[in-house]
A and B are shown apart, each in its own frame.
Chain A
Amino acid sequence: MGQGKTRYWRDIRPGETFETAAITLSTEDILEFAADFDPQPYHLDNGAAAASIFGGLCASGWHVCAVMMRLLTDTFVAARIDLLGSSGVGALRWRKPVFAGDALSSTITVSECLAPVDKSEFGRIVCAVDVSNQQGDSVITLTTTLLIGGGSREAGSDG
């Protein structure tokens, strides 16, 4: 039951920043994701990875994106923000490979807050996200548009 502490789109302001916890990727994590979604030699095999552009076994770039979403989701849920997913990514760059044992954490900075369009139930916030490893090097940076609820149903405004 709501305690009135859930945060909706109108409760978020440009400039607000969130720091996530860290997730460490194991060799097994890297191999499992690669086997399911990105079975290329440099994500599956040490020898091939050593000869590749990355110089060693590294996580799929999409695995890093998925871990970013986990970090973001956990942080927003803990902050009681009514996160309803994402509508897109303006731009993303893979800056450095992620190797087994790397611990990834993220800084999320809100740059824009947009009210619901037409009769949609959610507002949107544009965020700059910087995911870095334990050395503080950025491994991916992106801008993404997140959908945030407006609380209409909780407010009993139906009908």
Chain B
Amino acid sequence: MDKTPFIRSRWFEDIPVGEFHVFGSYTFSEKEIVEFGKKYAPQVYHTDPDAALDTVYRGLIASGWHICAVWMRMMVDYMERFATGVQDGRRNGAGVGFENLEWLKPVRPGHTLTFTYEIIDKPDKVIREKWGVIRSRNEAFNQYGDLVFSFVIDILAERAPDV
């Protein structure tokens, strides 16, 4: 199996700006949309397929935060598949924050999103002595090729130890 190195297995210094990955695709089911909606965004357009028809959305749509959560799962699964080396998780960096997040189009039951990730910058910062910041632009496209979701996130990667 092809093992492409990824964030977890590389030091900050070894991760190049411009690197591009396709995490994969995910199809949202009605059941999952409703389950997430009931827990975290209880409005009829996220929880009730019939009542949702009578809203401005004309049907059930996924909570935007559900799309974010699925993005995270796609990234974690991608790392699991492609990371080599460190297994104890100690070098897993935390997210610092994100900006310019836009939910551009509704995601409905049966829609399939494809998630892409591009490293756009490595800001010159050292966090708690040993972490660097990897800035990426993340996008998701539906099955019609429409951009439905995008944001820029900063995630920590461990810097190589001083020799």
Interface 9-residue window, one of A12-20, A87-95, A129-137: A87-95
User: In the complex the two chains form, is B73's CB within 8 Å of A40's CB?
Assistant: no
User: In the complex the two chains form, is B42's CB within 8 Å of A73's CB?
Assistant: yes
Question: How far does the alpha carbon of A13 sit from the alpha carbon of B49 in the complex, in Å?
Answer: 32
CB distance from A142 to the nearest CB of B (A): 9
Interface 9-residue window, one of A1-9, A64-72, A103-111: A64-72
Interface of chain B, helix or strand or loop or mixed? mixed
B23: Cβ under 8 A from any A Cβ: no
| Set of chain B residues within 8 Å of A61, measured between Cβ atoms | 94-95
Question: How far does the alpha carbon of A61 sit from the alpha carbon of B131 in the complex, in Å?
Answer: 18
Question: How far does the alpha carbon of A89 sit from the alpha carbon of B73 in the complex, in Å?
Answer: 20
Question: How far does the alpha carbon of A91 sit from the alpha carbon of B99 in the complex, in Å?
Answer: 4
- Considering only CB atoms and an 8 Å cut-off, how many residues of chain A contact the other chain? 41
| Set of chain B residues within 8 Å of A99, measured between Cβ atoms | none
CB-CB under 8 A for A48 and B103, given A38-B69, A38-B73, A85-B45:
no
Interface of chain A, helix or strand or loop or mixed? mixed
User: In the complex the two chains form, is A90's CB within 8 Å of B100's CB?
Assistant: yes
Partner of A40, one of B45, B61, B64, B89: B89
CB-CB under 8 A for A70 and B40, given A37-B70, A40-B89, A60-B72:
yes
CB-CB under 8 A for A89 and B98, given A48-B88, A51-B90:
yes
Chain A residue, CB-CB nearest to B101: A89
User: In the complex the two chains form, is B92's CB within 8 Å of A42's CB?
Assistant: yes
Q: Which of B24-59 contact A (CB under 8 A)?
A: 36, 39-43, 45, 55-57
User: In the complex the two chains form, is B88's CB within 8 Å of A65's CB?
Assistant: no
User: In the complex the two chains form, is A88's CB within 8 Å of B103's CB?
Assistant: yes
CB-CB under 8 A for A41 and B94, given A65-B65, A87-B102, A92-B101:
no
CB distance from A82 to the nearest CB of B (A): 10
A112: Cβ under 8 A from any B Cβ: no
User: In the complex the two chains form, is A53's CB within 8 Å of B94's CB?
Assistant: yes
Question: How far does the alpha carbon of A38 sit from the alpha carbon of B42 in the complex, in Å?
Answer: 22
B160: Cβ under 8 A from any A Cβ: no
B17: Cβ under 8 A from any A Cβ: no
User: In the complex the two chains form, is B64's CB within 8 Å of A85's CB?
Assistant: yes
| Set of chain A residues within 8 Å of B109, measured between Cβ atoms | none
Contact with A along B84-98 (1 / 0, CB 8 A): 000011101111111
B136: Cβ under 8 A from any A Cβ: no
User: In the complex the two chains form, is A39's CB within 8 Å of B76's CB?
Assistant: yes
Question: How far does the alpha carbon of A116 sit from the alpha carbon of B96 in the complex, in Å?
Answer: 33
Q: Which of B68, B72, B102 has most A Cβ within 10 Å?
A: B72
Partner of B102, one of A52, A60, A88: A88
Question: How far does the alpha carbon of A85 sit from the alpha carbon of B124 in the complex, in Å?
Answer: 36
- Please, could you name 9 A-B residue pairs with CB atoms under 8 Å apart, sorted by A? A42-B89, A51-B88, A66-B39, A66-B40, A69-B41, A84-B45, A85-B41, A88-B102, A93-B97
